[in-house]
């Protein structure tokens, strides 16, 4: 099989599951100003050290995290094993800068992996390619390193190959010590730090040997600013299995140069930060999340929705509330999400279509005046059912539709020419098949 055929086989579960939980958690949860606090505030290792000394997540319960994700209708999760600050939640033998050496005193990735597997969820691990703690990672003059402008670091020597040995070694640990890993989420490439700068082919060869079925994102070659060679006609070993647009949903999904759909996943925050930020109250509503999930699926994509647990290890209450509301909708309408993708029908004015096999799901986001129009489907629609309850929705054939004979019409009330509220004002989902 060529690379695209292998990718199609590996991503089958990913394209079926559609909805996952991203979890950004680490030392940065203590200052509670976001996961980039070291870079943004140009904090030295010494200034950042109190957060390592004080890291004591006494309320960390990944079993509850997993139950929250599952109840929201999510099928997989991705947790930051190491973010850009270099701190490791796992028991790496290659560094002392890790959770077992804090007051936590243990491997927190091990507990996460076990808890999410126990709930039947697939397990993903995020690993930052960059490292602001490691002495051999370029610092002075780098675009994002906390010490980029610190004159005291100007003449410090580093051996980048030694850092790459370290980084490859940690990826080997993650691929070896935790059983089958479903997804590896690398972050991120930038400027000249891309592809073979990471010894990317060597890294991917090792990963495929240790975890032949694991999905890998496209960020060995790209960041959220682009997609790399995954859009080429013949993607290579370092292209990745899926594209990872960040904080945006592509207008028409993602396609390669031949126009074929490429697996993709939009990573989106629940407020405006990935890591816990106590001063960020700008939460997205559950209605917005539901509609954005539907939008992703209608464009053959996934939604990876982030939570940022606090310093004690608790997912914020507002996140839990929003996810519970999303879960209530998913409990009624998950058939229109899981296993679905883009429809063969064009997007309607009032919402979106998703599709699974011959079954089309109409996501009605805007209440009609009178009957709801199914464009150009007159005489083509089999029985229509409300997905949440399974009850039949009537096809309308009344005086005010006669002038629009090419369209099919639905009604949610007893009289087709009158206006009735939708059963679900967030997203009313009906299913139907087209007559053969």
Q: Does 344 map to a domain?
A: no
Q: Does 319 map to a domain?
A: yes
Helix (H) or strand (E) holding 356: strand 351-356
Considering only CA atoms, which of 128, 248, 139 is closest in space to residue 189?
Answer: 128
Ordered alpha helix ranges (H), 316-435:
317-333
Same domain, 315 and 360: no
- Sign of the Cα pseudo-torsion (111, 117, 121, 127, in order): positive
DSSP state of 231: G
End position of a domain, from candidates 283, 304, 334: 334
Same domain, 281 and 370: no
- Domain limits for position 256: 3-334
Q: How far apart are CA 136 and CA 159, in angstroms?
A: 5
Q: pLDDT of 113-155, one tens digit each?
A: 999 999 999 999 999 999 999 999 999 999 999 999 999 999 9
The tokens for 417 are 């020419």
Q: How far apart are CA 396 and CA 401, in angstroms?
A: 8
Q: Does 341 map to a domain?
A: no
Same domain, 256 and 385: no
Q: How far apart are CA 80 and CA 247, in angstroms?
A: 18
Predicted TM-score (pTM) of the model is 0.97
Same domain, 330 and 356: no
Same domain, 195 and 51: yes
Same domain, 246 and 371: no
Total domains, the chain: 2
* N-term to C-term CA, the chain: 34
Same domain, 325 and 360: no
Instruction: State the CATH number of the domain containing residue 312.
Output: 3.20.20.80
Q: What's the rounded mean pLDDT across residues 25-45?
A: 98
Same domain, 164 and 289: yes
Instruction: State the CATH number of the domain containing residue 366.
Output: 2.60.40.1180
Same domain, 31 and 83: yes
Indicate if the pLDDT at residue 418 is higher than 90. no
Are 123 and 182 contacting, i.e. CB atoms less than 8 angstroms apart?
A: yes
Same domain, 58 and 31: yes
Same domain, 329 and 364: no
Q: Does 340 map to a domain?
A: no
> For residue 388, what are the CA distances in angstroms to 63, 225, 408, 425?
29, 39, 22, 13
Q: Ramachandran region of residue 179, left (φ > 0), alpha (ψ -120 to 50) or beta?
A: left
Same domain, 326 and 368: no
Confidence of residue 400 (pLDDT cuts 50, 70, 90): confident
Q: pLDDT of 81-119, one tens digit each?
A: 999 999 999 999 999 999 999 999 999 999 999 999 999
Q: In DSSP terms, which residues pair with 126 in a beta bridge?
A: 80, 185
Q: Does 52 map to a domain?
A: yes
């Amino acid at each position: 099989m060529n690379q695209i055929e292998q990718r199609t086989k590996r991503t089958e579960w990913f394209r079926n599951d559609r909805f996952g939980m991203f979890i950004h958690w680490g030392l940065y949860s203590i200052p509670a100003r976001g996961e980039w606090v070291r870079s943004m505030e140009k904090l030295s290792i010494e200034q950042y050290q109190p957060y390592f000394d004080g890291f004591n997540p006494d309320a960390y319960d990944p079993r509850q995290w997993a139950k929250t994700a599952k109840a929201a209708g999510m099928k997989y999760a991705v947790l930051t094993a190491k973010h850009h600050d270099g701190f490791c939640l796992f028991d790496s033998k290659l560094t002392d800068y890790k959770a077992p050496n804090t007051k936590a005193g243990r491997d927190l990735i091990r507990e996460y992996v076990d808890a999410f597997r126990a709930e039947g969820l697939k397990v993903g691990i995020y690993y930052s390619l960059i490292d602001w703690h490691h002495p051999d990672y370029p610092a002075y003059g780098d675009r994002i390193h906390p010490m980029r402008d610190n004159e005291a670091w100007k003449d410090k020597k580093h051996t980048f190959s030694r850092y790459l040995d370290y980084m490859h070694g940690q990826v080997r640990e993650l691929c070896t010590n935790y059983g089958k890993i479903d997804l590896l989420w690398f972050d991120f490439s930038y400027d000249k730090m891309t592809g073979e700068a990471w010894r990317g082919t060597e890294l991917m060869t090792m990963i495929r040997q240790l975890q032949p079925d694991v999905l890998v994102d496209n960020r060995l070659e790209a960041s959220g600013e682009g997609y790399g060679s995954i859009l080429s006609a013949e993607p290579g070993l370092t292209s990745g299995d899926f594209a990872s647009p960040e904080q945006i949903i592509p207008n028409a999904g993602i396609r390669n140069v031949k126009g074929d759909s490429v697996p993709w996943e939009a990573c989106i925050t629940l407020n405006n930060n990935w890591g816990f930020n106590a001063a960020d109250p700008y939460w997205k509503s559950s209605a917005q999340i539901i509609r954005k999930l539907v939008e992703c699926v209608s464009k053959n994509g996934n939604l990876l929705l982030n939570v940022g647990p606090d310093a004690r290890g608790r997912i914020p209450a507002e996140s839990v509330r929003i996810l519970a509301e999303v879960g209530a909708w998913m409990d009624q309408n998950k058939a229109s999400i899981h296993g679905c993708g883009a429809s063969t029908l064009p997007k309607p004015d009032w919402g979106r279509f998703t599709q699974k096999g011959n079954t089309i799901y109409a996501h009605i986001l805007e209440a009609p005046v009178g009957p709801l129009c199914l464009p150009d489907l007159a005489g083509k629609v089999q029985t229509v059912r409300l997905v949440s309850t399974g009850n039949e929705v009537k096809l309308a054939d009344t005086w005010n539709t006669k002038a629009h004979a090419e369209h099919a019409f639905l009604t949610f009330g007893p009289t087709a020419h009158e206006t009735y509220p939708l059963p679900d004002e967030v997203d009313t989902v009906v299913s139907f098949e087209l007559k053969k």
